[in-house]
Amino acid sequence: MKPGLIIGSFLSIIFIGLAFFSFIWIPYDIEALEISNKLKNPNLNHWLGTDHFGRDILSMIMMGARTSIAVALLAVGIGVVIGVPLGLFSAARRGSFIDEVIMRGNDLIFAFPSLVIAILITAVFGPSAVNAIVAIGIFNIPVFARLTRAAALPLWERDFILSARVCGKSEVRISIEHILPNITNLMIVQGTIQFSLGILAEASLSYIGLGAQPPTASWGRMLADAQTLVSIAPHVALVPGLAILLMVLGLNLMGDGLRDLFDPRIKGDRT
């Protein structure tokens, strides 16, 4: 086991744990404003200080983790649920017209800068968490479709697939029984990395006010609210910034570590 995987998993689990813990208990209600207590530095009552409305930053971070993780997870979900079957289908019908259509469709989506289109979608359909999920999710589809197809193609030439075909199994059945289990580890690695990109995208969207709307807490919005206060109370900006950084870093380290763990070639070199 590499230290990267351990550190990455540790960071990711902390934030995911915080998000779940927020359902049971948070230190302070984040909708209760207490202006008299605003911009307090971290202290015993408020471990991470308070913001310009006097809200507890730790509570906001916990609630924000919930938003970030939910948006990113659902966006990855959209990518996996639509992208993987598309890729499997494309690989099963490799070289056909329909394969061509699917893959060129993917290229089309890839050709657009994802964040700009996400801004466009949320701007047209109104800013909300749901629209953010859809906007980020759409760009996950071609990632998974292409990866699935690329991983499935060489498998289709393997003897065990040929013998499954000789046994009279249909393409759908072969895709599910033989191809899918052999590409799952790749999907887990890519899923982790897309998850971290989703968190970044959600933070970016809510930073410009197009993500989850108040009073729902989100890290991007906290960062946006704090930017005018950096010189007075740096911790108000520092804390959500660090939260985004650590979460994304953790997921990336974990993705890298998982890839090494799953790849027998790299494993061989290490031992």
Binding another protein (rule: CB under 8 A), the pick from 17, 98, 158, 209 is: 158
**Amino acid identity for residue 36 in this structure:** S
Nearer to another protein, 44 or 167 (CB): 167
Nearer to another protein, 154 or 234 (CB): 154
By CB under 8 A, residue 267 contacts another protein: no
Instruction: Find the shortest distance in angstroms from Cβ 91 to another protein.
Output: 15
By CB under 8 A, residue 265 contacts another protein: no
Instruction: Find the shortest distance in angstroms from Cβ 162 to another protein.
Output: 7
Q: How many residues bind another protein (CB under 8 A)?
A: 16
Instruction: Find the shortest distance in angstroms from Cβ 168 to another protein.
Output: 3
Instruction: Find the shortest distance in angstroms from Cβ 227 to another protein.
Output: 50
Instruction: Find the shortest distance in angstroms from Cβ 86 to another protein.
Output: 19
Binding another protein (rule: CB under 8 A), the pick from 10, 23, 110, 160 is: 160
Nearer to another protein, 155 or 229 (CB): 155
Instruction: Find the shortest distance in angstroms from Cβ 172 to another protein.
Output: 10
Three state DSSP letters for the chain: CCHHHHHHHHHHHHHHHHHHHHHHCCCCCCCCCCHHHCCCCCCCCCCCCECCCCCEHHHHHHHHHHHHHHHHHHHHHHHHHHHHHHHHHHHHCCCCHHHHHHHHHHHHHHHCCHHHHHHHHHHHHCCCHHHHHHHHHHHHHHHHHHHHHHHHHHHHCCHHHHHHHHCCCCHHHHHHHHHHHHHHHHHHHHHHHHHHHHHHHHHHHHHCCCCCCCCCCCHHHHHHHHHHHCCCCHHHHHHHHHHHHHHHHHHHHHHHHHHHHHCHHHHHHHC
Q: What character string, x for contact with another protein (CB under 8 A) and - otherwise, covers 166-185? A: xxxxxx------x--xx---
| Chain residues that interact with another protein, rule: CB under 8 A | 158-160, 162-171, 178, 181-182
